Amino acid sequence: MTVHQIVFILVLGLTFAIFGYTVNRLAAYFRITRPAFPVRDIGRRILVTLQVAIGQSKILRRPVIGLIHALVFWGFIIILFGSLEMIVDGVVGTEKAFHSLGKVYDVIMGSGDIFALIIAVSILIFLSRRLFFHVRRFAGREMTHKSHVDANIALSLILLLMITLLGMNTFYVAFAGQAGHHIYGVYPVSTAWFAPLLSGSLSDHSLYFWFRVNWWMHILTIFFFANYLPYSKHFHVFLSVPNVFLSRLRPIGKLPLMENILREVKMMLDPSAVADTPETEDQERFGIMDVEDVTWKNYLDSLTCTQCGRCTSVCPANITGKLLSPRKIMMDTRQRMKDKGPGMVKNGKEYSDEKSLLRDYISEEEIWACTMCNACVQECPLNINQPEIILGMRRYLVMEEAAAPGELNTIFSNIENNGAPWQFSQDDRLNWAKELYMED
């Protein structure tokens, strides 16, 4: 076993250890959340995943920038193959371990080389949009300095990944060519554009040395990136496909039924049914007051959110200057779990830090501004559902605190008393049909 191998295995072990720690912590947070829905209809889920995640159908609703993102995503999938090979090479001590795949190998490595350049250029476009152009959807109250720095770090890491990948390929091709070795795989961009720049300027030994430098930088960046992502808004690199696979399959206009309310309503409508009603478990809070009231899907949504702001940019409330921003709802939910989660993991769900998601993070003003139009849901490239949390908070305010805005309380009592949001008698419901003539 070489020193390289030993170092590699140690670093790989450390990477997995840190990643394992993170996953463990997140799993503990997920255990705090409420149930959402049973994951069934696997066939339909695969179709949604193929369409929305792999096919990037929703991000392509903005065709130009969407296509650039889609290229980055598809490129990542191809390049992942090379990364796996690097891990095998690192552990086993081989070089280009997968080359026995022959033509397939050539196609994958060749596409990876081309995609590395496409991704590098795309990332430069993304970075310049963030740094030099005023893109409205990257602004907003919730977009703190920290979020912008996070975005720029994530993008810079990807850029570094692509530069080192191209560096690796270039020095490999240059070395093998100069030393007369067989070149495994095809590297069109590196061979045609970059390797010629080196021709004859370096010894075989230096070329190989720089190949190894780029190799190590590339793999170390991957390891670092993998452990940076769970703490970054860029976590979607891991979570986008699972989150889309776990999409809500119900129609966009359908709200989830509250079973605990149904029990109460049935008892009210038919008191004799009390006997048949199973004893309720622990008294569950109605709606969402704090982060322990959200479902695992709401929390997964919040971790998946990339803060791209497509939701907020189509939100009628936000467009017209209201405080509500669907993106902020997701960011606040994630942040709240980060703040309160550790205490709840340690001391149980009853733990309190004298704060709550509603009011201390998300104001009542924000949640009452929503028109439930679902434009944000329609737009989210990763099938996140922002209104579900807004609705949960409304449910909490209405049914636990009776704290809806006054006008809404009025329509509630009108509906209760006379079956319409307005104060018209139910007996007048057919008045429109009086004196109705065909010719009028």
Which residues, 246 to 285, sit near other proteins by CB under 8 A?
250-255, 257-258, 261-262, 264-266, 268-269
Q: Which is nearer to other proteins, 205 or 250 (CB)?
A: 250
Distance CA 66, CA 369 (A): 29
Torsion of CA 226, 227, 233, 235, to 10 degrees: 50
Q: Give yes or no for a contact between 376 and 315, defined as CB atoms under 8 angstroms apart.
A: yes
Counting Cα atoms < 13 Å in the Cβ hemisphere of 338 gives 13
Least CB distance to other proteins at residue 55 (A): 17
Least CB distance to other proteins at residue 280 (A): 15
Candidates 200, 197, 301, 161; CA nearest to 242 is 301
Distance CA 213, CA 206 (A): 10
Residue range at the interface with other proteins (CB under 8 A); choices 9-17, 239-247, 338-346, 362-370: 362-370
Give me 186's structure tokens: 């095809």
Q: Which is nearer to other proteins, 10 or 262 (CB)?
A: 262
CA dihedral (121, 122, 123, 126) positive or negative: positive
DSSP H/E element including 81: helix 63-92
Binders of other proteins in range 54-83 (CB under 8 A):
61
Number of residues that bind other proteins (CB under 8 A): 74
Least CB distance to other proteins at residue 312 (A): 14
Residue with token string 């961009």: 189
Binders of other proteins in range 227-246 (CB under 8 A):
none
Q: Which is nearer to other proteins, 97 or 288 (CB)?
A: 288
Beta bridge partners of 358: 362
Distance CA 77, CA 61 (A): 21
Residue range at the interface with other proteins (CB under 8 A); choices 135-143, 303-311, 322-330, 352-360: 322-330
Give me 166's structure tokens: 């191209």
Residue with token string 């006379």: 418
Which residue type, as a one-letter code, is found at position 103? K
Please select the residue that binds other proteins; options are 323, 338, 339, 351, rule is CB under 8 A. Answer: 323
Candidates 213, 218, 211, 215; CA nearest to 194 is 211
- Provide the residue count of the chain: 440
Q: Which is nearer to other proteins, 88 or 411 (CB)?
A: 411
Least CB distance to other proteins at residue 437 (A): 4
Q: Which is nearer to other proteins, 104 or 255 (CB)?
A: 255
> Which residues are CB-contacts of 396 (< 8 A; sequence separation ≥ 6)?
285, 286, 287, 288, 289, 293, 358
Please select the residue that binds other proteins; options are 321, 346, 350, 354, rule is CB under 8 A. Answer: 321
DSSP H/E element including 402: none
Distance CA 362, CA 323 (A): 10
Q: Which is nearer to other proteins, 331 or 377 (CB)?
A: 377
Least CB distance to other proteins at residue 311 (A): 13
Least CB distance to other proteins at residue 357 (A): 16
Q: Give yes or no for a contact between 79 and 115, defined as CB atoms under 8 angstroms apart.
A: yes
Give me 41's structure tokens: 């209809």
Please select the residue that binds other proteins; options are 320, 346, 350, 354, rule is CB under 8 A. Answer: 320
Residue range at the interface with other proteins (CB under 8 A); choices 167-175, 239-247, 353-361, 369-377: 369-377
Least CB distance to other proteins at residue 322 (A): 4
- Per-residue exposure over 149-160, b if at least 16 CB sit within 10 Å of its own CB, e if not: ebbeebbebbbb
What is the full DSSP assignment across 9-36?
A: HHHHHHHHHHHHHHHHHHHHHHHHSBP-
Binders of other proteins in range 370-399 (CB under 8 A):
370-375, 377-378, 391, 393-399
Q: Which is nearer to other proteins, 322 or 338 (CB)?
A: 322
Binders of other proteins in range 290-319 (CB under 8 A):
314, 316-317, 319
Least CB distance to other proteins at residue 413 (A): 9
Binders of other proteins in range 397-436 (CB under 8 A):
397-399, 404-405, 407-408, 410-412, 415-416, 419-422, 424, 426-433, 435-436
Q: Which is nearer to other proteins, 237 or 367 (CB)?
A: 367
Q: Which is nearer to other proteins, 264 or 339 (CB)?
A: 264
Binders of other proteins in range 151-190 (CB under 8 A):
none
Least CB distance to other proteins at residue 134 (A): 18
Q: Which is nearer to other proteins, 197 or 433 (CB)?
A: 433
Taking CB under 8 A as the rule, does residue 132 contact other proteins? Answer: no
